[in-house]
């Protein structure tokens, strides 16, 4: 078995019985799991900061109000419209991925 640094021997196989249904995509740092509005808000905040936008600048570029963006980033659902969300994601050069969990 190979040895990696000081973490000891590593198994040459993966026990898929212990894997989460999300392990295939969650190991990819470009995927953000947003299973709730709160987590969606956290993901948007992270993307905004990585792109170097202030809330005001992103809101202006996406043609949404700063108040709407603040509400989304804080996980509030009032006024959360899909069209606005898609415009915001386009501005952030991001996309929405829907995963069929009924087959997992």
Instruction: Write out pLDDT tens, residues 76-94.
Output: 988 889 999 999 999 999 9
Number of domains within the chain = 1
Say if 85 falls within a structural domain.
yes
* CATH number of the domain that residue 66 is part of: 1.10.260.40
- Domain containing 55: what range? 36-93
pLDDT at 56 over 70: yes
Say if 41 falls within a structural domain.
yes
Say if 98 falls within a structural domain.
no
Helices marked H in the chain = 23-26, 37-51, 55-62, 66-73, 82-91
Say if 81 falls within a structural domain.
yes
Provide, rounded to the nearest whole percent, the portion of the chain with pLDDT above 90. 53
pLDDT at 7 over 90: no
CB 75 within 8 A of CB 36: yes
Instruction: Write out pLDDT tens, residues 20-45.
Output: 554 444 456 677 777 789 999 999 99
Say if 27 falls within a structural domain.
no
């Amino acid at each position: 078995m190979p040895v990696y640094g000081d973490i000891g021997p590593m198994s040459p196989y993966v026990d898929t019985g212990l894997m989460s249904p999300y392990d295939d995509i969650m190991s990819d740092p470009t995927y953000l799991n947003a299973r709730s509005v709160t987590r969606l808000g956290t993901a948007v905040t992270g993307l905004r900061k990585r792109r170097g936008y202030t809330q005001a600048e992103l809101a202006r570029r996406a043609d949404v109000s700063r108040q709407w963006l603040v509400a989304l980033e804080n996980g509030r659902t009032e006024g959360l419209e899909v069209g606005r969300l898609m415009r915001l994601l386009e501005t952030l050069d991001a996309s929405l991925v829907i995963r069929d969990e009924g087959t997992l």
